[in-house]
Each structure stands twice: as structure tokens, then as C-alpha cells.
Amino acid sequence: MKTAVIYSDEWRRFDYGPEHPLRMERLGLTWRLMEGYGLTARPGVTVLSPAPADIEAVARFHGREYIEILRAVSAGDWVPHAARHGLGPGDNPIFPGLWDAAQLVAGGSLLAATLVAEGEADRAFHFAGGLHHAMRDRASGFCYVNDAVLAIMTLRQRGLRVAYVDIDAHHGDGVQLAFYDDPNVLTISTHERGDRLFPGTGFVEELGQEAGLGCSVNLPLQPFTDDAIYEPAFEAVVPPLLRAFRPDVLVLQLGIDSHRTDPLTHLSLSIQGFTRTVTRLLELGPRVVALGGGGYDLPNVARAWTAAWAAMNEITLSPELPPQSHADMKRLGLETMSLWDPPAELPADTRRWAEEYATRQVQAIREKIFPLHGL
């Protein structure tokens, strides 16, 4: 098996600002933990740095006017209508080099898709990618360009049938909308319910439209959903649909803001549950393009994506973190130098509440979507 991981030290140049929850430090932290485990220098592993995507590549999805606005504000020019495109104080700040960062994230995901499409890698991981909220003409949810959409478009240009599975705590709204009427792209998103969390979408009733009816699948979950609730719900929905759809390639968005200590969300997964889910997806996909996504508790991001990369290479890691990672992890507040999380229990009422909600959503998917796939 051939695998590729895509990383660049160039990310150190970019900064959303001191108060913003998305910190580029998480990428370097993840890379150093991968290195500490020896995961970047194994036989069959290729390490590549991405080239920035050019304007034409980004314009395959994003509007030309929007691209020019990104370029202008990145250079420090004042654009009076930037806010109409989601840019400004708050979620999507304007910072020096914004366009350069957008080009780099797009370039990395395009590279991952190309490697898999051309048979240079069976599995490729670009953990700086997965910015799934960006719309054609608008930044949203910390995302300026939708690299996941661009990666899927690259695969589709080669005639490949694509299933996109998004396990971020936030609904993958930008990707869903981009392929809402496409019968050759199945989008599946598991996430915290949209009436409790940004972006406010991702309900079972969002089924796709026209030729794509049934190709948009959403499994919303109650706050505090943990491994014991999430994994059976995932198993009841995702594997049957993937088997019925029979994709040539899986594109995975591996956000880890579903973790129980993430500061922005309210799900309760562990690193173990996340890793088991990734491993299950790898069993279901002939070829895989994996992207990162959300995750705002930095030690958890590094541990989860390192465990995911190990799973992509079918490697079992020691539960004890490498000694060279301890200083980083202690500085960022990790108390136990373990790859895995300690056990945690939900209160009985909270568990029942979350279980009942998940059961209802699974049943609704089986009633509304499964018949459209012959299930």
C-alpha cells in the first residue's frame, strides 16, 4: 500500500489573530507528533509539500469576483463590500497573507486528490485541509476556500464516483450545497444538531434535489453524544449507504471538534472513538483522500490526526506519547502523556436523551433515504 502525507512549514506564516480559536500551531504540533512516532519516514510513505493552487484552479468552484476580493484584502487593500462576502471581524478575519493561505490549503487538497486519482497513492492525508464551510462567493466558519469541494471536483473530472464523509462536529454545509443535485457525489455528514450549533443546517430532511435526491445524507446528533452512542448510529447509516453507492474514492473530512473537551462544540467523543471511526471508513473505501477540519483543543487535534495517519498506514501505536512530544503537550495543558483518553461516563439522563435522539435520526434516515438507494 502506498500512502502520502502533505505538509508545509509555510503555515507558520499565517495567523487569524490572538483571540481566534483556529490556531495554525495545531498543524506543526501534529507534524511533530507524527515525526515522534516515526510515521513520516516509513517504507511506502511519501511526504510532500504542496504548491499553492493557481487562480484558475480555485475558480473551478469559487467566483472570480470573490477571488479578487480575497487577493485585495490579503494585500492590505480596503474593499468596502468585503463584509458581503463574509470577510471581517469575527469568524473570518482579514489578515496579511490570507490569499496565500487559501492557495496553500487548496493546493494541498488538490495534490492529495491527484495522487489518489493517478494511482500514486492509495491513501493521501492533507490535514491542513477540510475547510468545508466556504461557499462559492463567501467565506464562512473560518473557511475562505472550500478545498474539499475542489478535491472532489478533481476526482469527478477523471470520471470517478465519490463519497464524501464528514465527521466534524459542524455540518459540512459548503460541500453539501456544492453537490446537492449531483448523483455521482454522495455526501454524508455526522455532526451536532443544527439547531444547537453553527452553521444551523444538516437536518435529515436535506436529501439532495433533482438527480441528486438521496445523495445528501445528514446524521445530526444531540450534545454530549459519546462513543457508545455515536458508533452504533454511524454503523447503522454509513456502511450500508457506502456499500450501496459503491464509490471509486472516499473523501474524508476528519474534524476532531467532536471531542469531549473541544471548546467550541458539545459532542463527547474520545480519541479512541474517533480512531475507530476512521479505521472503519478505511475498511469501506478502496481509495481515500483524507482531510483535516475542525479541532480547537490543540493536543487533541495532534493526537487524533496522528492516530488517523497511523490507521491509514495500518500501524499500531504505543499508547505512551513519544518523549520528545511531552514538552509541547504539557505546555498546552495535556495532563497525561497518553495517546488515548481516560474513561468518562455520561449522567444517565443525558445518555438516555442523546441515545433517543440518535435512534430517531437513524430511523428517519432509513425511512427517507435508504429506499432511494434500494435499501
pLDDT in tens, 328-351: 999 999 999 999 999 999 999 999
Q: Are the C-beta atoms of residues 117 and 160 closer than 8 Å to each other? A: yes
Q: What is the count of structural domains for the chain? A: 1
Can you say whether residue 202 is alpha, beta or left, with left for phi > 0 and alpha for psi between -120 and 50 degrees? left
Sequence-ordered list of residues with C-beta below 8 angstroms from that of 220, at least 6 positions apart, any chain: 171, 191, 192, 193, 194, 202, 203, 204, 361
Range of the domain at 368: 3-373
Whether residue 286 is predicted with pLDDT greater than 90 in this model: the reply is: no
- What's residue 191's pLDDT? 98
- What's residue 212's pLDDT? 98
Would residue 133 show up in a list of annotated catalytic residues for this protein? yes
Specify the residue for cell string 444538516. Answer: 202
Whether residue 372 is predicted with pLDDT greater than 90 in this model: the reply is: yes
Tell me which of 62, 85, 126, 133 is the catalytic residue. 133
pLDDT in tens, 199-213: 999 999 999 999 999
Amino acid at position 104, single letter: L
Of 69, 281, 253, nearest in space to 175 by CA: 253
Whether residue 216 is predicted with pLDDT greater than 90 in this model: the reply is: yes
Altogether, the residues listed in the chain come to a count of: 375
Following DSSP, what letter does each residue of 82-145 receive, concatenated? GGGGT-SSSSS---TTHHHHHHHHHHHHHHHHHHHHTTS-SEEEETT---TT-BTTB-BTTBSS
> Is the pTM of the predicted complex or chain greater than 0.75?
yes
Helix axes 98-117 and 147-157, enclosed angle (nearest 10) = 30
Q: Which CATH number fits the domain that encloses residue 18?
A: 3.40.800.20
- What's residue 311's pLDDT? 98
Q: What's the mean pLDDT when you consider all of the chain?
A: 97
Of 342, 332, 320, nearest in space to 295 by CA: 332
Report the C-alpha gap between 184 and 181 in whole angstroms: 9
Whether residue 79 is predicted with pLDDT greater than 90 in this model: the reply is: yes
pLDDT in tens, 168-181: 999 999 999 999 99
